Amino acid sequence: MDAHRLPKGLGWLSVGLGLTELTFAEGICRLLGLKGHAGVVRALGARELVTGLGLLSQPERRPWLWGRVAGDAIDLSVLGTTLNRSTAATSAWRFAATVAVLGITLIDVYAASAPRIRRVSNSGKGDRWEGPLESWRGSGLAEDVGANANGAGAEWDEAKRHQMMQEAQSRLGLPDPENLTPRR
């Protein structure tokens, strides 16, 4: 999955779970054998909602992803308190909820700990780029850092275009695609 779409998807999941926990707290408590703890479920729902809105609205998503992981730990601990309340009617729901939260926790940990793209020096043998190996050229980055914006892009000669790409590459600190060493 795309590294930018996963946090957004988790944000929408958080919003949905939060609204569900806020709206149907008593029913969730009945299914899990937590009668009388609707306030706890609503608090968990509010936390989910805030985390989801943070993932959807903030440019730096990593803290919000770790917030989801912390919330998953809280959810698992609340589910753990229900283990000694074994009734046939609620045990299947508890098992399903625990498996679902464990699965989501794995996805949240994966998303929160995904490595960032960074540049690593390769002791004078060129640069090794830790991240996607596709070329950034042609993506519009040169135009974003000061290339001619008057629409004359199609009329530039190749030498001028290459020079501007080199300047943009230097200003942005991007590696030269021709000198990349693949990751091992």
Q: At what angle do helices 38-57 and 5-23 cross, to 10 degrees?
A: 150
The structure's pTM equals 0.59
pLDDT band at 78 (very low <50, low <70, confident <90, very high): confident
Q: Return the higher-pLDDT residue of 93 and 67.
A: 67
AA identity, residue 58: Q
Q: Return the higher-pLDDT residue of 44 and 157.
A: 44
Alpha carbon 173 to its chain's center: 24
pLDDT tens digits, 89-141: 678 888 888 899 999 999 999 999 887 633 334 444 444 444 444 444 555 55
pLDDT in the model for residue 105: 94
Contact 37, 45 (CB under 8 A): no
Query: Mean pLDDT across the stretch 22-35?
Result: 88
pLDDT band at 179 (very low <50, low <70, confident <90, very high): low
pLDDT band at 184 (very low <50, low <70, confident <90, very high): low
Question: What H or E segment, with its residue span, contains residue 8?
Answer: helix 5-23
Q: Return the higher-pLDDT residue of 86 and 24.
A: 24
SS3 annotation, 15-79: HHHHHHHHHCHHHHHHHHCCCCCHHHHHHHHHHHHHHHHHHHHCCCCHHHHHHHHHHHHHHHHHH
Q: Return the higher-pLDDT residue of 99 and 170.
A: 99
DSSP assignments along 100-116, one per residue: HHHHHHHHHHHHHHPPP
Nearest-angstrom CA–CA distance, 100 and 98: 5
